[in-house]
Amino acid sequence: MREVARSRFVSATPAELDHLLTPRRLVEYEGSFSVDSVDERNGETVVTASGPGLQFQLRFESRANGYYYEQAGDLGPFEAMETTVTVDRENEGSQVTMESRVALSLSIPFADRIAGWKRRGELDRALDTLAAEC
């Protein structure tokens, strides 16, 4: 399993980010998958996402200063994937940090290294898109 982390300053306060950082938008910001549906279940938000030839679910938990989410079940592209998003007040804006642990469900050499590289790009894209919207 690979661990990757990315952080970015954005010119919006944590309160201002409340409407931008939603489960739907986080998946959209990452840019790899489309959001098919968003359902509230037992205090969690479940996002059904899809890409070419696959559909899977991500389970989101709201935290005091962000979100935790993970692939639900084993139908997605990952053997395991979990991400924590934290928002901390900094100066006149916020520091947004995304930390992810990921393993691909492929039995090829260096699969986890490839997963980490891909996930790093998704986190960078999410933070870039968020910063552009602020």
What's the CA gap between 35 and 120, in Å, rounded? Answer: 20
Q: What is the pLDDT of residue 112?
A: 78
Task: Convert the pLDDT of each residue in 27-37 to its tens digit.
Answer: 999 999 999 99
Q: What is the pLDDT of residue 55?
A: 93
Extract the residue ranges of the chain whose pLDDT is less than 50: none
HEC profile of 109-122 = CCHHHHHHHHHHHH
Of 1.10.260.40, 3.40.630.30, 3.20.20.80, 3.30.530.20, the CATH number of 2-133 is 3.30.530.20
Q: What is the pLDDT of residue 49?
A: 96
Report field, pTM of the whole predicted structure over 0.75 = yes
**Total number of residues shown for the chain:** 134
